[in-house]
Amino acid sequence: MVFALEKIVRPNILALKPYRSARDDYNSGLLLDANENNFGPVSLMGDSLVVKSEDNPLSMHRYPDPFGIKVKEQFIKFRAAVPSIDNVFVGVGSDEVIDLVVRIFCSPGVDQILITPPTYGMYKVTSQINDVSVVSIPLTLDDSKFQLQTDMVLEELKRNPLIKVIWLCSPGNPTGSILKMTDIRKILDSGYNGIVVVDEAYIDFCTDQNTSAVPLINEYPNVLVMQTLSKSFGLAGVRIGFAISHKDIIQLMNNVKAPYNVNSLSQNAAYEALSSASIQSMKRVVKEIIYQRDNFLIPGLLKLPRVKKILGTNDANFVLVQFCNPLGEPDNDLAINIYKTLADDFDVVVRFRGSEPGCLGCLRITVGLSQENSLVISTLEKVINLLTSPQ
Ligand SMILES: Cc1ncc(COP(=O)(O)O)c(C=O)c1O
């Protein structure tokens, strides 16, 4: 079956005549077209941010570039497999991308999405907000590695034509596991007439750089890859996420987004972050995080009493650690108690993930600085002893 985009886009979105902002028409000259304040911004931080010159990216009295063209130009230099800026959407974090995908492809009260838990929570929450129901086919745990149950996914996609989007998270959160490219291809090759999203928020932490799904956009019209500056680039507060896909899908996203979704300060930060010097610095930090993860955090955790194992393949900047009872069985009560005591009594905050399929007894711990990793391990040891020693 040939993929037909017009068959899966919501009819009202397909028919949409998008809003044209003033900046879509002209963006230079004497700009008196957008009811901006030509006297400039109010005084901020002793005027250090107030630079009114028109070519200054911090000209905050002007609306930002609606499409983040300069950011996109930097991005495609960084991700060489992306052919053109027409294949890139810049959003307010990946979370905006998730929201747009659901709103473009899923009719409320009718269509469905498929997720493969344990996975990132926003796919489900965004769908619920939009009255789109969620089908779950959990990942399978094989030798502590999380992978797709591809045959079950394919069967469900074949059986259920209402599933418009399938969300794959690779490397997964909270699994830290990269999905097999052969499985992703099987779904794309199955004739599925919907969108296959691959969320690559943590891709830079993968030691094997050939694992990204970005090159697939050159082969398949229905794959959409999400990336973000929130993790490897350390810019979570700036809120910049990317969708990389066929240009027709990117066009739909541009049509539906708010006119000036990404503000000028964030566009400027993203432009700088994607310069070659900043990319080198990102790579150095990523290397240090991986070093800390593999040489200190994981070995330190594995030495602790009641730590059963580390789940997943650790292809990210966190680890998923499973706690057990004296019989060696995963223990959710212990994990919750450790989690609460760490936060309430020791100001060390990690994430309880024991309610997710396949994650019984699990906490997710982000890799920190060297001293933070030492502190989390020594505090965990104290807390485990406190909670498990006979009264
Ligand atoms: C898998 C995954 N995707 C997306 C996001 C959201 O990213 P952003 O900060 O770009 O919205 C997160 C954040 O934790 C995540 O773990």
95 C-beta closer than 6 A to ligand 1: yes
Band of the pLDDT at 50, cuts 50, 70, 90? low
Ligand 1 centroid vs 170 CA: distance in angstroms?
A: 12
Please tell me the predicted confidence (pLDDT) of residue 22.
87
Question: What is the number of the ligand 1 atom nearest to the C-alpha of 230?
Answer: 9
pLDDT tier at 58 (50, 70, 90 boundaries)?
Answer: low
pLDDT of residue 27: 82
Three-state SS annotation for the chain: CCCCHHHHCCHHHHCCCCCCCHHHHCCCCCCCCCCCCCCCCCCCHHHCCCCCCCCCCCCCCCCCCCCCHHHHHHHHHHCCCCCCHHHEEEECHHHHHHHHHHHHHCCCCCCEEEECCCCCCHHHHHHHHCCCEEEECCCEEECCEEECCHHHHHHHHHHCCCEEEEEEECCCCCCCCCCCHHHHHHHHCCCCCCEEEEECCCHHHCCCHHHCCHHHHHCCCCEEEEEECCCCCCCHHHCCEEEEECHHHHHHHHHHCCCCCCCHHHHHHHHHHCCHHHHHHHHHHHHHHHHHHHHHHHHHHHCCCCEEEEECCCCCCEEEEEEECCCCCECHHHHHHHHHHHHHHHCCCCEECCCCCCCCCEEEEECCCHHHHHHHHHHHHHHHHHHHCCC
Mean pLDDT within 127-143:
95
Contacts of 238 (CB under 8 A, 6+ apart): 229, 230, 265, 266, 269, 270, 273
Using the predicted structure, report yes or no on whether residue 45 has a pLDDT greater than 60.
Answer: no
pLDDT in tens, 144-203: 889 999 999 999 999 999 999 999 999 999 999 999 999 999 999 999 999 999 999 999
Predicted confidence at residue 49, as pLDDT, reads 54
Per cent of the chain over pLDDT 90 is 86
pLDDT at residue 208, as a whole number: 78
Tens-digit pLDDT profile for residues 316-375: 999 999 999 999 999 999 999 999 999 999 999 999 999 999 999 999 999 999 999 999
Orientation of helix 93-105 relative to helix 122-129, angle to 10° = 50
Domain with CATH 3.90.1150.10 in the chain: 279-388
**Mean predicted confidence (pLDDT) in 196-213:** 92
- Using the atom order of ligand 1, give the atom closest to the CA of residue 240: 10
Share of the chain above pLDDT 70, in %: 95
- Assigned token pair, 389: 């020693």
- Distance (angstroms) between ligand 1 centre and the Cα of 239 equals 10
Band (39; pLDDT cuts 50, 70, 90)? confident
Residue 57 confidence class, pLDDT cut points 50, 70, 90 = low
Phi, then psi, of 180 in degrees rounded to 5? -70, 130
Pocket test for ligand 1, best of 97, 197, 231 (most atoms within 8 A of CB): 231
pLDDT for res 144: 81
Q: pLDDT at position 42, please?
A: 77
Calpha distance 163→337 (Å, rounded): 38
Residue 55, pLDDT score: 58
pLDDT at 13: 96
Q: Whose CA is nearest to atom 3 of ligand 1?
A: 201
pLDDT given at position 124: 97
In the prediction, which pLDDT does 29 show?
87
Fold for domain 5-21+63-274?
Answer: Aspartate Aminotransferase; domain 2 (3.40.640)
Kindly state the tokens that stand for 39. 């006297």
Distance 285 CA to ligand 1 centre (A): 19
Q: Is the CB of 105 under 6 A from ligand 1?
A: no
CA distance 36 to 115: 43
Q: Is the CB of 169 under 6 A from ligand 1?
A: yes
Cα 173 to ligand 1 centre (Å): 9
Paired with 225 in beta bridges are 198, 244
What is the Å distance from ligand 1's center to 242 Cα? 11
**With bands split at pLDDT 50, 70 and 90, how would you rate the model's confidence at 233?**
very high
Average pLDDT value for the chain: 94
Maximum CA extent, the chain: 77
CATH classification of 279-388 is 3.90.1150.10, yes or no?
A: yes
| Ligand 1 pocket member 96 (CB < 6 A) | no
Q: Count the Cβ atoms, other than its own, within 10 Å of residue 305.
A: 13
Q: What is the pLDDT of residue 145?
A: 87
Q: Residues 204-214: what's their mean pLDDT?
A: 88
Q: Which of 11-25, 32-46, 182-196, 278-292 has the lowest mean pLDDT?
A: 32-46
Rounded Cα–Cα distance for residues 54 and 31 (Å): 10
Residue position matching structure tokens 């070093």: 291
What mean pLDDT is predicted for residues 66-73?
Answer: 97
In short, whether 228's Cβ falls inside 6 Å of ligand 1 is yes
Which residue owns the Cα nearest ligand 1 atom 2?
201
Mean pLDDT of 224-237: 98
Task: Give the residue range(s) of CATH 3.40.640.10 domains in the chain.
Answer: 5-21+63-274
Rounded to an integer, the average pLDDT of 203-230 is 94
